[in-house]
Amino acid sequence: MTTSKATLSVRAGIDVDSQYGAVTPPLYLSSNFTFEDFAKPRKYDYSRSGNPTRDMLGKALAELENGYDGVITSSGMSAIYLVTHLLSKGDLIVAPHDCYGGSYRLFNSLKDRGIFEVIFIDQGDPKAVADALALKPKLIWIETPSNPLLRVVDIAKICQQAGSDVIRVADNTFLSPILQQPLDLGADIVVHSTTKYINGHSDVVGGAVIAKTQSLHEQLAWWANCTGITGSPFDSFITTRGLRTLGVRIRQHVENAEKVVDYLNQHPLIETVFYPGLKDHPTHQIAAKQQNGFGAMFSFCLNLDRVCLKAFVNNLEYFSLAESLGGVESLICHPVTMTHAAMSQQALKEAGIEANLLRLSVGIEDVNDLINDLDYALKKSQLKSLTGAPVVKLAKGSKPQAEVSPRIIEALS
């Protein structure tokens, strides 16, 4: 019997308690476990090495991703760091030139320490991919859709080009296993920042590494125990609780995002909207082929100077200025000064990340409130642009009281 991903996420750990019949599984906070007898350990002996609550989350995510098993780590970055332990000195990673700023910083920093080599390429360019693979890399890192420009690359094609001699890793944080299954498309490993959609409530930090095979999983689990970067039982418990609503949350996230995109895509102050769900998006067809939906993340360029951009952000009420994504609440991020601040100006330019780029994580609030919020902030920022003077922050729905010509006020009302 085929079971949907939404059902699997709801049923994670439900009705498995054999001692008391608890519907919700117990939380095992113990840092250590007794031995059954002298020199005879039980399945668990120390929580850094293994813990029932953490393992339950790992297995649930592996089932959702169609993998063998999952290692739960203390953060999304520690999940990425864990994967790098599969490489030796002199090995090469091929990574996207427009990947998440934290991934870029980690790969670059480890390269500078001589741990391995890395090259950043445009993975949407077949020649660049072919040239990079000709260098015989040990690992290729795929991030699709990319952060923050939502570029989509063909996972199956890249994995096929790379071949089985290359470890093929896909960061699936932006879509979750509800909308994309990279292992089915040829990847060997899937990485998540469970802080994001998996947990979905912006109240716990975590990561996950799901392997397709037992051999890869055992290597990853060994290094996770060795380095001590496994997640805590309590964080795993909270994340599993968040996981149970993943299906219904994703559905509402996507529905809201599509409506917000439609609004911004027609607004005269918006230069470009980067969202794979738009039919004129350069990689729309790839996204439609390999994804089960277009997600709730997108970015856009605002056709205003930095002062007015700041006014726009500061006049938002229902989009909080914060890093991270995937929570039930809506967030706005300025990548150049936030998530991608670690990248050099040259690297930002090569990736196409401009100073007027903003990234939205669309939450599950009433979408009409979200659109009205954006509309109000855009009007206030445009008014600031036209007057060249600070605008007094007013209650929503009220008329501007600054000394502006009636023509401008009428146009913005």
pLDDT in tens, the chain (413 residues): 779 999 999 999 999 988 899 999 999 999 999 999 999 999 999 999 999 999 999 999 999 999 999 999 999 999 999 999 999 999 999 999 999 989 999 999 999 999 999 999 999 999 999 999 999 999 999 999 999 999 999 999 999 999 999 999 999 999 999 999 999 999 999 999 999 999 999 999 999 999 999 999 999 999 999 999 999 999 999 999 999 999 999 999 999 999 999 999 999 999 999 999 999 999 999 999 999 999 999 999 998 777 888 999 999 999 999 999 999 999 999 999 998 998 899 999 988 999 999 999 999 999 999 999 999 999 998 876 655 544 333 344 443 333 333 333 333 33
226/279 same-domain check: no
**How many Å apart are CA 183 and CA 189, to the nearest integer?**
7
Predicted local confidence at residue 2, as pLDDT: 76
User: What b-and-e string marks burial along 122-160, b requiring 16 or more CB atoms within 10 Å of the CB?
Assistant: bbbeeebbeebbeeebbbbbbbbbbbbbbbbbbbebbbe
**Per DSSP, which regions of 250-394 are E strands?**
270-274, 297-302, 320-321, 331-333, 357-361
The catalytically annotated residue of 81, 100, 275, 318 is 100
208/230 same-domain check: yes
Predicted local confidence at residue 404, as pLDDT: 34
Query: What 3-state DSSP class applies to 155?
Result: helix
**How many Å apart are CA 170 and CA 195, to the nearest integer?**
17
Rounded to two decimals, the pTM is 0.91
Predicted local confidence at residue 137, as pLDDT: 98
Choosing from 216, 244, 272, the residue where a domain stops is 244
Q: Which domain holds residue 392?
A: 247-412
The catalytically annotated residue of 11, 44, 48, 138 is 48
Choosing from 244, 260, 290, the residue where a domain stops is 244
113/183 same-domain check: yes
Number of domains in the chain: 2
132/168 same-domain check: yes
Q: Is 48 a catalytic residue?
A: yes
Over the stretch 230-260, which tens digit does the pLDDT of each residue have?
999 999 999 999 999 999 999 999 999 999 9
Predicted local confidence at residue 391, as pLDDT: 39
Q: What is the CATH number of the domain that holds 128?
A: 3.40.640.10
251/228 same-domain check: no
223/290 same-domain check: no
Predicted local confidence at residue 96, as pLDDT: 96
**How many Å apart are CA 231 and CA 296, to the nearest integer?**
27
Q: Is the peptide bond before 268 cis (omega within 30 degrees of 0)?
A: no
Q: Is 399 a catalytic residue?
A: no
List, as one string, the DSSP characters of 63-112: HHHT-SEEEEESSHHHHHHHHHTT--TT-EEEEETT--HHHHHHHHHHHH
256/236 same-domain check: no
Q: Is 212 a catalytic residue?
A: no
186/257 same-domain check: no
319/260 same-domain check: yes
The catalytically annotated residue of 55, 69, 171, 373 is 171
288/398 same-domain check: yes
Query: What 3-state DSSP class applies to 243?
Result: helix
289/390 same-domain check: yes
- Residue pair 393/313 in contact (Cβ under 8 Å)? The answer is no
Choosing from 193, 221, 244, the residue where a domain stops is 244
Q: Is 188 a catalytic residue?
A: no
Q: What is the CATH number of the domain that holds 261?
A: 3.90.1150.10
112/77 same-domain check: yes
The catalytically annotated residue of 59, 151, 168, 196 is 196
Predicted local confidence at residue 384, as pLDDT: 67
